[in-house]
């Protein structure tokens, strides 16, 4: 014998809820999944909500808006960066390179997230952990404090911009573009430039497109580190 009342017709029944309640962490993880699949341009609150089986308005109970969501995603992604076990000052350059390669690897794996990083100063614990390690290495190598601080900026920018650029080529490849043909096209274009205006670029067309993304990235970091080396106080 049931004493339950029938449902009031204008009340919206909540679905029998087998889903976990939302958390900020769940929102961020869903955001990263959408980013990885659709890129930053495809990252919409509706898609994130859909990924969680809910509606976009529900996300605002956990993040203040899309900007905050992206910052949280960046910080979460930065946590994937693995650092060397311990600093080895005698090979500081090689270790900085390792960290740079690793950061670039992590960011590149998450589409164009580094546009968010280029936006300014991040103070989350994951980002600061990397910074602390890099600063420690630079100081142990004898680089002055202010130089080390500025170097953090420079390395960060080289990593971020390179990862962003790499993401665009990755997206091209995923969209079916033949990237080799693309670079051939750039080379051919340079080779066809008017001689009187662009003699060097024309002559160096092959050189300009030579080298893959990783080779270019390695070179830029190497150049920057050589420059830093000149500041070592000994």
Partner DNA sequence: TCTATCGAACGAACACTGTTCTACGGAGTC
Partner DNA sequence: GACTCCGTAGAACAGTGTTCGTTCGATAGA
Binding site for DNA (CB under 7 A): 8, 10-15, 21-22, 42-47, 54-58, 60-62, 65-67
How crowded is the C-beta side of 22, counted as CA atoms within 13 Å? 22
Q: Give residues with Cβ within 8 angstroms of 143, minimum separation 6.
A: 151, 228, 231, 232, 233
Q: 119 is in the binding site of which of DNA, a copy of itself, none (Cβ under 5 to 8 A by kind)?
A: a copy of itself
Separation of alpha carbons 227 and 102, rounded Å: 21
In the complex, the smallest distance separating the C-beta of residue 27 from DNA, rounded to whole angstroms, is 8
The answer to the question of residue 234 lying near a copy of itself (CB under 8 A) is no
Binding at 191: pick from a copy of itself, DNA, none (beta carbon under 5-8 Å per type): none
Stretch that binds a copy of itself, among 7-15, 31-39, 78-86, 154-162 (CB under 8 A): 154-162
Is 168 a residue that touches a copy of itself (CB under 8 A)? yes
Dihedral, CA of residue 181, residue 159, residue 206 and residue 171, to nearest 10: 10
- The 182-211 contact track toward a copy of itself, x by CB under 8 A, reads ----x--xx--x---xxxxx--x--xx-xx
Instruction: Kindly write out the interface string for residues 88-127 of this chain, putting x where it contacts a copy of itself by CB under 8 A and - elsewhere.
Output: ---------------------------x--xxxx-x-x--
Which of 151, 134, 50, 123 is CA-nearest to residue 99? 134
* Nearest-approach distance from CB 110 to DNA, in angstroms: 17
Comparison of 14 and 234: residue with beta carbon closer to DNA: 14
Residue selected from 22, 109, 128, 191 as contacting a copy of itself according to rule CB under 8 A: 128
Rank residues 10 and 175 by Cβ distance to DNA and give the closer one: 10
The Cα-based distances of 34 to 39, 47, 111, 154, 208 in angstroms read: 7, 7, 10, 30, 35
Instruction: Please say whether the beta carbons of 101 and 94 come within 8 A.
Output: no
> What is the full DSSP assignment across 64-132?
SSHHHHHHHHHHHHHTTPPPPSS--GGGHHHHHHHHHHHHHHHHHTTTTTHHHHHTS----HHHHHHHH
Which DSSP symbol is given to 2?
-
- Shortest distance (Å) from residue 51 CB to a copy of itself: 25
In contact, 116 and 71? CB cutoff 8 Å:
yes
Can you give the binding site for a copy of itself, defined by CB under 8 A?
115, 118-121, 123, 125, 128-129, 131-132, 135-136, 139, 145-154, 157-158, 160-162, 164-165, 168-169, 186, 189-190, 193, 197-201, 204, 207-208, 210-211, 216, 219-220, 222-228, 230-231
């Amino acid at each position: 014998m049931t004493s339950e009342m029938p449902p009031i017709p204008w009340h919206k029944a909540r679905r029998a809820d087998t889903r976990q309640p939302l958390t900020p962490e769940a929102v961020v993880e869903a955001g990263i999944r959408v980013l990885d699949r659709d890129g930053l341009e495809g990252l919409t609150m509706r898609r994130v909500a859909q990924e969680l089986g809910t509606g976009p308005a529900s996300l605002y109970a956990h993040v203040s808006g899309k900007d905050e969501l992206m910052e949280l995603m960046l910080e979460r992604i930065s946590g994937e960066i693995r650092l060397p076990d311990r600093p080895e000052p005698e090979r500081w350059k090689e270790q900085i390179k390792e960290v740079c390669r690793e950061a670039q690897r992590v960011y590149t794996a998450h589409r164009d997230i580094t546009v968010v990083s280029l936006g300014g100063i991040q103070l989350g614990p994951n980002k600061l952990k990397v910074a602390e390690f890099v600063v420690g290495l630079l100081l142990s190598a004898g680089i002055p404090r202010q130089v080390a601080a500025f170097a953090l900026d420079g390395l960060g920018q080289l990593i971020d911009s390179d990862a962003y650029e790499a993401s665009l080529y990755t997206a091209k490849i995923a969209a079916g573009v033949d990237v080799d043909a693309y670079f051939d096209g750039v080379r051919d274009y340079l080779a066809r430039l008017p001689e009187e205006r662009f003699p060097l670029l024309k002559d160096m067309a092959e050189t300009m497109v030579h080298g893959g993304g990783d080779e270019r990235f390695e070179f830029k970091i190497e150049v920057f580190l050589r420059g830093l080396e000149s500041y070592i106080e000994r």
